[in-house]
Structure 1
Amino acid sequence: MRYALIGAAGYIAPRHMRAIKETDGQLVSAFDPNDSVGIIDSHFPDARFFTEFERFDRHIDKLNRRGDAINFVSVCSPNYLHDAHCRFGLRSGADVICEKPMVLNPWNVDGLCEMEEVTGRRIYSILQLRLHPAIISLKKKIEQDADKIHDVDLSYITSRGRWYQVSWKGDVHKSGGVATNIGVHFYDMLGFLFGKCLRNVVHLRNEHHAGGYLEFKRARVRWFLSVDSRDLPESVQGKLSTYRSITVDGREIEFSGGFTDLHTESYRSILSGEGFGLDQVRPSIEIVSQIRDISLAPKSEDAHFLSRRYL
């Protein structure tokens, strides 16, 4: 398979390059306005690279017209550009593999559905937690008692320095805010495990934190997200920069490891015809869009214990 990659200088791009290589693909062309892309040499040193989108667009068009078309466009650009870059991939006659969040709002999903119909191509999202062995095992256990309503606590703290708020990630209009930027795959995971989201309450929402309460068909979920290192538990302060915890009915589910290979597994799934498309993406996009826009609820017993210190 022949690939083009948009957003080659970003944090997540090396995982896509590795996934392309480990699934025997070829990265033909890459684009990023930032030229700090030496990582390409570790994977595809012969790939063409562009810092101007217009020249990248022209190159992809030339490849198409001479019979060397791209099969996939991998999108690793800032969140607010995913929609436009997915459209570019479809118009170029390629299928698209897009990092999460695929888009920022549900109506963007509607537009991409129309583009799929017009072009006959597909868009796939990286929803890697659905492929994590611990999550798959948990899903099987939940399905054994389909009538039970579970109590869930989710905490995710990933330290970010002062640069974070200066970058596009600190701009809610570009990243979607904390809940969208670092949390969308967790909301997808919760829907994957517990079914349709029935209620969405937000207690905390600022540039560093978000917290709230979600009711799914088979779960009541208290959640807390943070990019502030001061929220890390004392047991990991100074040792780790990231802390993930999910408890189901008081039992801790260990899924801290096993993340680094999941992009490759995602690519394998897509290449085998089992990737996650727009229908699977929509529920989590609806959740994060609501979290961004709904009014904050007053402090209540439903608030996550880590949120309460900020309420």
Structure 2
Amino acid sequence: MNFAVIGVGGYIAPRHLEAIKDLGHTVVAAFDINDSVGILDRYFPDCQFFSQFERFEVFVDGLKGSDKQVEFVSICTPNYLHAAHIKFALSHGAHAICEKPLVLHEKEIDELEQYETRYGKKVFTVLQLRVHDAILALKKKVESNPKELFKIDLNYMTSRGNWYHESWKSDVRKSGGLSTNIGVHFFDMLTWIFGDPVDVAVSEYTPTLEKGTLRLKNAEVSWSLTVDRKLLPQAAVAAGKTTFRSITIDGEEFEFSEGFTELHKRVYQDVLGGRGYGLNAARGAIRIVENIRKMA
């Protein structure tokens, strides 16, 4: 398969490049507004790179009908650009594989459904926690031992320096805010296992900390998300860790700190094998984080 990558200079792009290469496919074109993209030499040194989107578009169109025609566009751009870049992929004859969050607003999912119908191409979203071995085992365990209401505590702390507050990630209009940036994949995991969202409440909302409660069909969730390193538990600090994640289910700690290195490769295997997650798979988590913003 031939791929193009939009946002190849970003943090998450190397995971996509590695997955594409390891699975034996090719990136023929890449775009980023920044030209610090030496990472391409490690994976696809013959890839055509563009820092002007218009030239990138012309090049992609020029490949149509050739053995290098772009069949998939991988999207690794800032959150607020996802919908536009997905529409670009579909309208230019390619399927789209988009990083989380798929979009910032649920109505954009409806718009993209119309694009899928119009152009006959599909949108796939990166929901990597759904292919994590420990989480797959948890889903199986919950399904084999169902109950009306599970009690869950979610705490996720990941340190970010001063750069974070100067970047697009701190602009709610561009990122969707903290819960969208670092929480959306956890909310997706919980809705996947415990059912659709019923209600969400916000008790604290600052640029570095968000807290609240979430009611799912079969669970009540107390959640806390932060990028403030001063809130890290002392044990994590003593161990030299910059990230702390904890999920307890009915008081029992659920451990899934390992096993993250191959997740994007698994996502790509599923997509290319016809098993990838599409637009509606992302709907529940997008609805949650959008409601958090509205309430805040």
Coarse TM-score class (shorter-chain normalised): over 0.9
User: AA paired with 1:114?
Assistant: Q
Separation (CA, whole Å) in 1 of partners of 2:168 and 2:178: 12
1:59 alignment counterpart: 59
The residue correspondences of 1:71-90 to structure 2 (distance < 5 A) are 71-90=71-90
Deviation, 1:65, is: 4.8
> Do residues 208 (structure 1) and 208 (structure 2) align?
yes
The answer to whether structure 1 residue 154 and structure 2 residue 154 are counterparts is: yes
Deviation per CA, 1:80-110: give whole Å up to 9, x if none: 0000000000011000000000100001111
For 2:57, give the aligned amino acid: D
Q: Look up the match of 2:294.
A: 293
Superposition deviation, residue 259 in structure 1: 1.2
Q: Which amino acid aligns with 2:79?
A: N
**2:254 corresponds to:** 253
Letter in 2 for 1:118: R
Other-structure match for 1:284: 285
Q: Equivalent residue for 1:230?
A: 230
Consecutive unaligned residues of structure 2, counting only runs of 5 or more, are none
Question: CA offsets per residue over residues 128-174 of structure 1, 9 Å max, x none?
Answer: 00111111111111111223411100011110000001010010000
- For the pair 1:36 / 2:52, whether they are aligned, the reply is no
The correspondence of residues 159-178 of structure 1 with structure 2, limited to 5 A, is 159-178=159-178
Shift of 1:204: 1.1
By how many angstroms is 1:66 displaced? 4.2
| Cα pair 2:28 2:68 within 8 Å, conserved | no
TM-score, normalised to structure 1, is 0.93
User: Tell me, what secondary structure is at the counterpart of 2:29?
Assistant: strand
The 8 Å contact of residues 105 and 286 in structure 2, kept in 1 or not, is answered as yes
- 1:202-247 CA-to-partner distances (Å, cap 9, x unmatched) read 1111111111101111111000000110111100116011111111
Equivalent pairs counted in the alignment come to 295
Q: Which residue of 1 aligns with 2:107?
A: 107
- 2:131 maps to amino acid: L
In structure 2, the residue matched to 1:273 is 274
Alignment map for 1:67-146 (pairs within 5 Å): 68-146=68-146
Task: For 2:96, give the aligned amino acid.
Answer: V
For residue 180 of structure 2, give the secondary structure of its aligned residue in structure 1: helix
Measured in 1, the distance between the counterparts of 2:151 and 2:74 equals: 37
What code does the residue aligned with 2:4 have?
A
In structure 1, what residue type is equivalent to 2:259?
A: G
CA distance in 1, matches of 2:126, 2:190: 15
Calculate the TM-score normalised by the size of structure 2: 0.98
The residue type paired with residue 257 of structure 1 is E
The gaps in structure 1 that reach 5 residues or longer are 296-311
Match of 1:47 in 2: 47
Q: RMSD of the alignment, in Å?
A: 1.0
Contact residue 6 and residue 31 of structure 2 kept, 8 A: yes
- For the structure 1 residues 2 and 44, does the alpha-carbon distance in structure 2 shift closer, same or farther, using more than 3 Å as the test? same
Distance 1:119 1:204 in 2: 43
